[in-house]
Structure 1
Amino acid sequence: MKQDMKEELLIPENINITIEGGLFTVKGPEGEVKRTFHNPKIESKIDGNALVFESKKATKREKKLIKGYLAHLRNMIKGVSQGHSYKLKICSGHFPMTASVKGNIFELKNFFGETVPRTTALPPGLNIKVDGQFIIIEGADKEAASKAASLMELLSRRPGFDKRIFQDGIYIIEKDGEPVN
């Protein structure tokens, strides 16, 4: 059944949100994140210190979209106020691997004794530190930080080999300070 729907998200004091034609810009002490949320049936506006999404005669599709927009905006607000961090561990048995970051290029050397280093391009706007066998990724954008972590993990994959035996690689061990099982 179609009903009118109205959802609010309170904006913290040190956060500034602007809306320009579906482009949401969230600014805070840790940086700035931009993202486009546009649907002709959903109206978005800033009312005082709250962000309001409204839809007249909303179907379940609009309800899902509004809840998704709110979840993304909560992540954006958390990112610009506290930041998002991922921690990865370099695990190597026989051949010691070394990792380095030069600009937006991540380089993995001596993976299973390979002579040619493996490289991948990382998303911009992240602070990446390699500290011994740990890699720490920090940034305001959760999607960019998680994409960088997954690209590093995928770079050290060996398709066609048994994962139970060949366990060397880079693995995510913490997401936003919480350990990964």
Structure 2
Amino acid sequence: MSRIGKKPITVPSGVEVKIEGSLVKVKGPKGKLERTLHRAIKVAQEGSTLTVSPVADTKENKKFHGLTRTLIANMIDGCHKGYERRLTLVGVGYRGAKQGKGLNLSLGYSHPVYFEAVEGVDLNVDKNTTIIVTGASKEHVGETAAKIRSLRPPEPYHGKGVRYEDERIVTKVGKSGGKK
């Protein structure tokens, strides 16, 4: 059995969990999420705790035990507190501005780049160089942040580009040739 899968999930107050067969619905102050679970996993709710267990003790069923428990726990945390990812724009003239539901980014190209947010994810800009991605779904927040970073990933010589706030870029040494 999975060590992570064995842990019960406590549902905080203000968060509502409904289990309808293989569909789990979570509703809280930050939003609502739903997910269809694998048929090899069953979820039982007793008061304010959830327990996840495999239907049968086969190797195939055990694969999804810890994963499913973590996915449900992330859904509950997201609906209760929400998730946030911060990106930093590094480079001369690199800046961003909120425009409607998306972002208008100047990333050193000859044209501005417009990035549209997916539903359930909120984009904000702080001090023109910090992008804050927030939402209830950990998957969507991380995926959106990765897509923004991929518009201009940090380059290895000067470190210019879009990077995660806690990311450290190891820069390479440039040319050191001279006349002899």
TM-score (norm 1): 0.78
**Cα deviation, residue 69, structure 1:** 0.7
**Cα deviation, residue 7, structure 1:** 6.2
Cα distance in 2 for residues equivalent to 1:149 and 1:122: 10
Instruction: Answer 1 or 2: which has greater strand percent.
Output: 1
Describe how 1:85-100 pairs up with structure 2 within 5 A: 85-93=84-92, 96-100=93-97
Q: Is the 8 A contact 1:24 1:36 kept in 2?
A: yes
Q: Is the 8 A contact 1:119 1:155 kept in 2?
A: no
Counterpart of 1:24 in structure 2 is 24
Q: Is the 8 A contact 1:87 1:134 kept in 2?
A: yes
Of the three residues 92, 107, 112, the one matched with 2:104 is: 107
| Aligned residue type for 1:64 | K
| Aligned residue type for 2:134 | E
Larger Rg over CA atoms = 2
Q: Is the 8 A contact 2:30 2:136 kept in 1?
A: yes
Asked which structure has the greater RCO (Cα within 8 Å, sep 6+), the reply is 1
CA RMSD of aligned residues (A): 2.4
Cα distance in 1 for residues equivalent to 2:24 and 2:167: 31
**1:135 paired to 2:134:** no
**Cα deviation, residue 32, structure 1:** 1.2
| Aligned residue type for 1:51 | L
Sequence identity percentage? 26
**Cα deviation, residue 144, structure 1:** 1.0
Count, aligned residues: 164
TM-score (norm 2): 0.78
Cα distance in 1 for residues equivalent to 2:14 and 2:61: 30
Task: For structure 1, list consecutive stretches of 5 or more residues without a partner in the other structure.
Answer: 174-178
**C-alpha offsets along residues 103-151 of structure 1, whole Å, 9 cap, x if unaligned?**
4433322x22x32222333321122211121111111111111111111
Q: Is the 8 A contact 1:53 1:66 kept in 2?
A: yes
Cα distance in 1 for residues equivalent to 2:100 and 2:23: 28
| Aligned residue type for 1:66 | H
Q: Is the 8 A contact 2:103 2:123 kept in 1?
A: no
